[in-house]
Amino acid sequence: MDHFEEQVASFQQQIARWKELEQAFPQMREKLEELQSEIPERKPIIAQAKFDLDKVENPGFFSRLLGKQEELMAKARTAYREAAAGLDNCQRAISALENRISEQTQELEQLAGSETAYRQFLEAHRDDLPEAGRLFYLSTYCPARYSSA
C-alpha cells in the first residue's frame, strides 16, 4: 500500500469512528439520565434502612426481653448495606459514564474536521486517484463539484 492509499484509509477510518461516536451519544446520554434519576429514588430507601437499623440497635426494654435481637440486627444491617451498596454502584456507574462521555467528546472534537480534510485531500490529489475509482471518490465525497453525469 502506498502513502496515498494509507492516507485515504486513515481518513476513512477517522470518518467511520466519528460517525460511530456520534451515533453512540444519544444512548449514553439516555443511560446517564436514567441512572441520575435513580439517585433520588434510592436515598429514601437508604434512610428507611438506616432508621430501621438504628431502631433495632437501640431497642426498648421489652424488645430485649423477647430475644431475637441479634437476628433482627443482622437483617437490618444487611438491608442497610444492600441499600447503600446499590446507591454506591449507581454513583460509580454515573461517574464511569460521565468519564466515557467526556473522553468521547474529546475524541469527537479531534475527529470533527475529518470529513472536510478528506474532501480537501481528495480534491488536491484527484490526479493520484486510481482511474477506476476517481469518479466514485470524487462524486461520493465531493458531490457539489463532481456528479456522475
Chain centroid to Cα 41, Å, comes to 22
**What are the tens digits of pLDDT across the range 80-117?**
999 999 999 999 999 999 999 999 999 988 888 888 88
pLDDT at position 111: 87
pLDDT at position 30: 94
**Tell me, what amino acid is at 145?**
R
For CA atoms 105, 109, 115, 121, give the dihedral sign: negative
The total number of residues shown for the chain amounts to: 149
Contact 24, 104 (CB under 8 A): yes
Mean pLDDT of 10-25: 89
Cα 37 to Cα 94: distance, rounded to the nearest angstrom: 11
Query: What cell was used for 116?
Result: 472536510
Mean pLDDT of 39-48: 91
- How far CA 61 is from CA of 66, 68, 76, 77, 136, in Å, comes to 9, 13, 19, 21, 88
Write the CB contacts of 114 (distance below 8 Å, at least 6 apart in sequence): 11, 14, 15, 18
**What are the tens digits of pLDDT across the range 56-65?**
777 665 555 5
The mean of the pLDDT values for the chain is 81
pLDDT at position 15: 87
